[in-house]
Every structure is written in C-alpha cells, then in structure tokens.
C-alpha cells in the first residue's frame, strides 16, 4: 500500500536559517504529492503540491520537487521566519484523485526562534 | 473562504460515556466530509467518508457502531464516540469537500481525552 515517511521532529531553527524537511514515499505509479501546514489552533492548509515527476511546487517561499528516481518530495525554504512555526505534513494521493484518498506522514513540528 | 470549524476544540470525558464532535463548513456547502484520527506522533488516519444524506463509508478496522457519523445537512457532520474508553483518546480532525472538486478543507481538530 501507499505510505509516506517524513523526518521526525521537532525541528528548531533560528530566524533566517535554511530549512529542509525530508519526505519519501512508497506508491505505485505516479501519485500526486502534497505538503500541508498546520498553524497553531488552525486546520491543515495546502502549502504546495506537485502532480508529476520533476514538477516543482512552490508557495510562500517554500519549494519541493517531485523526484521519482528517489521517491522523494523534500520541503525547503531558504530563510525561515518566526511565522513559519507550525506542523508540516507530507502527503500523497493516487493518480487522478486530487487531494482525495490522502495518505499522510506523521508530521514535523517546526519552531523558529528569533 | 472555505472555512471548516470543529466543536469542541477539546473535551475530557469519563470512560463509558459518549462524546459528540461537530464539524461545520462555514461558507460553503460540503457534499462530502471526512473524519481522521491522529494518535501522538502518528499520521492522520482516515476513519470514514460521509456524503450528505447517505451512510458513511468506514475504513477497514474502524468500528462503525463505535464511531457514529451523521451528515444530515450540507454544512454539518457529527462524529459520536460511543462508550468511550481511554484508548479512544486521540486528535480527531474533519475535512470537507464540494461535489466535483478534489480539494479538502480541514478543520482545526478536536482533542479527546478519556479518563
């Protein structure tokens, strides 16, 4: 079956540091890949997505590239801010399912300190 | 737009009692709602999918008689945990979607603690 593995947290960074949160997946075919973010007290929000190999999703300074050869979708940001403190979830869905039938990773809590 | 709320945000109850959690779509009509459960340091696991006016479809291993789901209107779904036990303590998250769309909008979650 499908599965998503993301790095364990929590991750604590200083403001303006470089962020990488690793995510690898197991799935058949070409799933769609997502990063969701959950700010304190709020619901999960779609941060970015990619639907085919070599696609790069980007939003709010965050980027992730769909790497079929390494089955990875690592999240990166060049300079984090305190406001980026949140829990980040990597997820996948089967081809054509959009964001239905989501399989999530365990989430990685990021804390950014001034 | 596309805001989903949950009530309560947290609840503590005694073992053997039942607890109802509400999920509302505030500014759109949700034809489909999903219920997830997340144990500490674990992934969100889909429990069930409900379409307005129909019976919910439960994922394998989820007891439908224990986790009662009602989706009686296009803006409200409820999850009732019946005869709750400490092992039911978890974070319950709902999401909502519109017919024909493949995007889910998530609620903020409800923390259930069963003593």
Residues whose CB falls within 8 Å of the CB of residue A45, separated by 6 or more in sequence, listed in order: A36, A37, A38, A39, B106
pLDDT score recorded for residue B1: 66
pLDDT in tens, A32-87: 999 999 998 888 899 999 999 999 999 999 999 999 999 999 999 999 999 999 99
Q: Tokens for B47?
A: 């429990």
Structure tokens at B34: 């999903």
Reply yes or no on whether the pLDDT at A98 is more than 80: no
Tell me what pLDDT residue A96 has. Answer: 78
DSSP three-state, residue B86: helix
For residue A111, the cross-strand partners are A12
Q: Is residue B25 within 8 angstroms of chain A, CB to CB?
A: no
- Residue in chain B nearest A100 by alpha carbon: B102
Cβ–Cβ under 8 Å, residues B93 and B34: no
Q: Please give the angle made by the CA atoms of B86, B95 and B49, to the nearest 5 degrees.
A: 75
* Cα A98 to Cα B104: distance, rounded to the nearest angstrom: 9
pLDDT of residue A19: 97
A40 touches chain B (CB under 8 A): no
What would the pLDDT profile of B65-90 be if each residue is shown by its tens digit? Answer: 999 999 888 999 999 999 999 999 99
Which of B35, B43, B97, B107 to mutate to test binding with chain A, by most A CBs within 10 Å of its CB?
B43
B8 and chain A: CB distance < 8 Å anywhere? no
Residue count of chain B, please give it: 115
- The conformation of residue A69, written as its DSSP 8-state character, comes to T
Name the more confident of A31 and B72: A31
Residue B13 has pLDDT above 90, yes or no: yes
Which of B44, B92, B107 is most worth mutating to test chain A (most A CB atoms within 10 A of its CB)? B44
Q: What is the pLDDT of residues A13-24, one digit of tens each?
A: 999 999 999 999
Q: If DSSP codes are grouped into helix, strand and coil, which group holds residue B87? A: helix
Q: What pLDDT, on the 0 to 100 scale, is given for residue B14?
A: 96
pLDDT of residue A77: 98
């Amino acid at each position: 079956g499908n599965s998503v593995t993301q790095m364990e947290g929590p991750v604590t960074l200083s403001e303006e540091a470089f962020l990488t949160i690793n995510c690898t997946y197991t799935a058949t075919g070409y799933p769609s890949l997502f990063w969701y973010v959950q700010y304190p007290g709020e619901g999960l929000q779609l941060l970015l997505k990619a639907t085919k190999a070599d696609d790069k999703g980007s939003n709010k300074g965050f980027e992730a590239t769909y790497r079929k050869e390494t089955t990875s979708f690592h999240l990166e940001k060049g300079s984090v801010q305190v406001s980026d403190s949140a829990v980040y979830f990597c997820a996948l869905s089967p081809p054509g399912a959009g964001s239905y039938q989501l399989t999530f990773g365990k989430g990685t809590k990021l804390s950014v300190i001034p | 737009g596309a805001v989903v709320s949950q009530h309560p945000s947290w609840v503590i109850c005694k073992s053997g009692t039942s607890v109802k959690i509400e999920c509302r779509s505030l500014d759109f009509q949700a034809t489909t709602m999903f219920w997830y459960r997340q144990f500490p340091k674990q992934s969100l696991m889909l429990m069930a999918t409900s379409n307005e006016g129909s019976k919910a479809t439960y994922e394998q291993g989820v007891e439908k008689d224990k986790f009662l789901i009602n989706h009686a209107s296009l803006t409200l779904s409820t999850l009732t945990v019946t005869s709750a036990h400490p092992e039911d303590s978890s974070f319950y998250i709902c999401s909502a979607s519109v017919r024909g769309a493949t995007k889910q909008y998530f609620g903020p979650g409800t923390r259930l603690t069963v003593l």
